[in-house]
Amino acid sequence: MAFKRQPILALLIVGCVLFILHKCIFPPLPPPFENEDHAQAVPSQQHFSWNKMIMQYPPTSTISLPKGSHAFIPKVQYNFGQEGRREKNERKGRQDAVAKSFQRSWETYQRYAWLKDEVNPVSGESKNAFGGWAATAVDGLDTLWIMNMKREFEETVDALKTIDFSTTRQTKISVFETTIRFLGGLLGAYDVSEGQYPALLEKAVEVGDMLYAAFDTPNRMPVAHWDLKFKARLQTKTEGQESENQQMASLTTPLADLGSLTLEFTRLSQLTNDPKYFDAVQRVTDELEKAQNKTRLPGMWPTIVDAERLIFDLGGTFTLGGMSDSVYEYFPKQYILLGGRKQQYRDLYENSFQTFKNLFYRPMTPTNQDILLPGDIKVYRTGSSSLVPKSQHLSCFTGGMVGLAAKAFDRQNDMETARRLVDGCIWAYESMPSGIMPEKFENLPCTDVSGCEWNQEEWETKRINEAIPPGFVKVDDGRYLLRPEAIESVFVLYRLTGDKMYQDKAWNMFLAIEEQTKTNLAYSAIADVTRPMSEKLANMESFWFAETLKYFYLIFSEPDLVSLDEFVLNTEAHPFRRSQQ
């Protein structure tokens, strides 16, 4: 029987060898949500269509999109003339350089992290921080179209058809981030490609229906950090489920998470003729309007609000920076998107402007530059208040917002304020050794926004260390996270004024970012802009594709590419087509 066992033994040995080789050559794939500890997917039997969800708290009536004639909104873009050959060649050369940086980043994402949320720009590892729904692919989709990368665009559209928005391995998702990146990205790609790809709108509806479920609370305010698996499980409950199974809005909700969903939900209603999405966000706006003049700083809302009990005067910190920013940004943009048919949004902006203009301070600089920066205001329970001269990269959107509203609302006196705010962020870039503005910093404010003389002794006394450049006293957070807000406002002011100085400033900003953040694979956030060639933080968020490189590309494009008279850009730079009727 030995002759019969030998072939069997040989086969077993060969099989073992092949198995070992297979494991070596094709190692096991890492968990697809490797940064989500102890996360569990929704059980397969709970996969369902969100539009079939049974509401616990359905609205008793529906607020429809405003109808009637289109209100007159002045042209906002500068009337650009014919450019010379030399100007055109220089502009095109700069634009091509930006496109190459985008292509390099995109190829790295495709190669190492395709359909994951992000790619590590240092190691090439993938990670999922936004539901595992291919955040970079969705967020960067309309930029592909804008940069004429049509083949990559169509490949991505086909790939996104496989994304399942009924499940995630994350415990909770951010409704705000999912709205601006995913819903905004799909709608922007659909609009900028002129509706040629119906699958994009179909996918946007899928995302919109999922997010709409986050509004199913007793007061119809959305859950900011939402457990969609909990909501899915509720569908298996019988009527009369106990109160602990109710979905409630949060007692501590960042203002931006509550009030920065209007553009995306409104555009979805416009494209689908389904008013439920607009109804959802309009109810939030109505609550903000009721509370606007009842906070500690009338005209503005604090960074944290109680969305469950609709209490808006709990906090005393008021800012145009993180956790608040896009609420104010969306007021004029929503007015424009609705064709001026909803005066409420213009009123909300103009009322808030009368207050938040008091946050602007003029930093003391060696050359007494005529610039402004947005700070914070602290209001105490006693009623007293103080300006805090701290600024953020996030708040650099302000100049573009003020400029756009100045044009759209014919508030021409505000254009000078917009210029000074944009120039302030440019100054912050140019002042740092790396040529890049830090995440957060503090200055010595002039007592009067009209100016003040440089005081070397006071500055030397108050700066925390010798590495701090003149005009700054402290860098609270020296990172640069590949953020877009400064170039966003530089782009907007260029399109509004036609001043080519902004193109030159943008080019210098781009060169600094290119030099300081470049890795062997792509581009990375860095640790400290006060030092040249700082440590790479191995992070490249999807807004690098959606916003930062898009704005750099558009400032060097022909002005009719994504014209501000034809599109409204959401806070993630996704272009929504304006109504022309």
Quick check: is 347 in a domain? yes
Q: Which domain holds residue 497?
A: 67-229+248-313+320-357+395-409+483-577
Residue 441: its H or E element: strand 440-443
Of 117, 105, 140, residue with least CA distance to 521: 105
Give the Cα separation of 204 and 206 in Å (integer).
5
Quick check: is 402 in a domain? yes
499 is catalytic: no
Give the Cα separation of 136 and 548 in Å (integer).
13
Q: Give residue 246's pLDDT band: very low, low, confident or very high (50, 70, 90).
A: confident
Q: Is the pLDDT of residue 39 over 80?
A: no
Question: Which tens digits make up the pLDDT trace of 135-148?
Answer: 999 999 999 999 99
Question: Which tens digits make up the pLDDT trace of 333-369?
Answer: 999 999 999 999 999 999 999 999 999 999 999 999 9
What does 158-213 look like in DSSP terms, one character per residue?
A: HHHTT--TT--SSS-EEHHHIIIIIIHHHHHHHHHTTT--HHHHHHHHHHHHHHHG
Residue 80: its H or E element: none
Instruction: Give the long-range contacts of residues 299-304, CB within 8 A, separation 24 or more.
Output: 299/351, 299/352, 299/354, 299/355, 299/356, 300/324, 300/352, 300/355, 300/356, 301/255, 301/259, 301/327, 302/255, 303/254, 303/255, 304/252, 304/253, 304/254, 304/255
What is the mean predicted confidence (pLDDT) over 155-171? Answer: 94
Enumerate the β-bridge partners of residue 119.
126
Catalytic residue (one of 142, 274, 325, 423): 325
- Indicate left, alpha or beta for 58 from its phi (over 0: left) and psi (-120 to 50: alpha): beta
Q: Higher-confidence residue: 28 or 286?
A: 286
What average pLDDT does the structure give for the chain?
91
Question: Which tens digits make up the pLDDT trace of 54-64?
Answer: 899 999 999 99
Quick check: is 169 in a domain? yes
97 neighbors 510 (Cβ within 8 angstroms): yes
Structure tokens at 80: 């650009």
540 neighbors 118 (Cβ within 8 angstroms): yes
Q: Give residue 22's pLDDT band: very low, low, confident or very high (50, 70, 90).
A: very low
Nearest-5° Cα angle at 241, 236 to 242: 135
Q: In the Cβ-directed half-sphere of 123, how many Cα atoms lie within 13 Å?
A: 8
Quick check: is 561 in a domain? yes
Q: Higher-confidence residue: 282 or 19?
A: 282
Judge whether 571 is annotated as a binding position: yes
Give the Cα separation of 360 and 350 in Å (integer).
16
Question: Which tens digits make up the pLDDT trace of 269-323?
Answer: 999 999 999 999 999 999 999 999 999 999 999 999 999 999 999 899 999 999 9
What's the confidence (pLDDT) of residue 49? 83
Enumerate the β-bridge partners of residue 373.
361
**Where are the extended beta strands (E) located within 207-309?**
225-226, 253-254, 304-305
Q: Give residue 21's pLDDT band: very low, low, confident or very high (50, 70, 90).
A: very low
Local structure of 374: helix, strand or coil: strand
Tally of structural domains, the chain? 1
Q: Is the pLDDT of residue 242 over 60?
A: no
Quick check: is 567 in a domain? yes
417 neighbors 402 (Cβ within 8 angstroms): yes
Say whether pTM exceeds 0.85. Answer: yes
User: What is the DSSP-derived secondary structure letter of residue 546?
Assistant: I
What's the confidence (pLDDT) of residue 23? 38
547 is catalytic: no
Q: Higher-confidence residue: 193 or 11?
A: 193
Quick check: is 60 in a domain? no
The type of residue at 212 is: Y
Quick check: is 308 in a domain? yes
Residue 88: its H or E element: helix 85-113
What's the confidence (pLDDT) of residue 42? 39
What is the mean predicted confidence (pLDDT) over 443-469? Answer: 93
Give the Cα separation of 385 and 183 in Å (integer).
39
What's the confidence (pLDDT) of residue 28? 37
The interaxial angle of helices 198-212 and 276-291, nearest 10 deg, is 50
Residue 418: its H or E element: helix 414-431
387 contact partners, CB below 8 Å, separation of at least 6: 358, 359, 361, 375, 376, 377, 445
User: What is the DSSP-derived secondary structure letter of residue 296?
Assistant: S
535 is catalytic: no
Q: In the Cβ-directed half-sphere of 342, how many Cα atoms lie within 13 Å?
A: 23
121 neighbors 521 (Cβ within 8 angstroms): yes
Catalytic residue (one of 154, 155, 177, 414): 177
Question: Which tens digits make up the pLDDT trace of 365-397?
Answer: 999 999 999 999 999 999 999 999 999 999 999
What's the confidence (pLDDT) of residue 580? 72
CATH of the domain at 130: 1.50.10.10
Of 395, 419, 234, residue with least CA distance to 328: 395
Of 250, 252, 193, 256, residue with least CA distance to 223: 250
485 is catalytic: yes
High-pLDDT (> 70) share of the chain, %:
89
What is the mean predicted confidence (pLDDT) over 396-423? Answer: 98
Q: Give residue 230's pLDDT band: very low, low, confident or very high (50, 70, 90).
A: confident
Of 568, 558, 284, residue with least CA distance to 405: 568
What is the mean predicted confidence (pLDDT) over 418-447? Answer: 98
Q: Is the pLDDT of residue 557 over 90?
A: yes
- Indicate left, alpha or beta for 13 from its phi (over 0: left) and psi (-120 to 50: alpha): alpha
Structure tokens at 258: 């509550």
Of 301, 302, 331, 297, residue with least CA distance to 317: 302
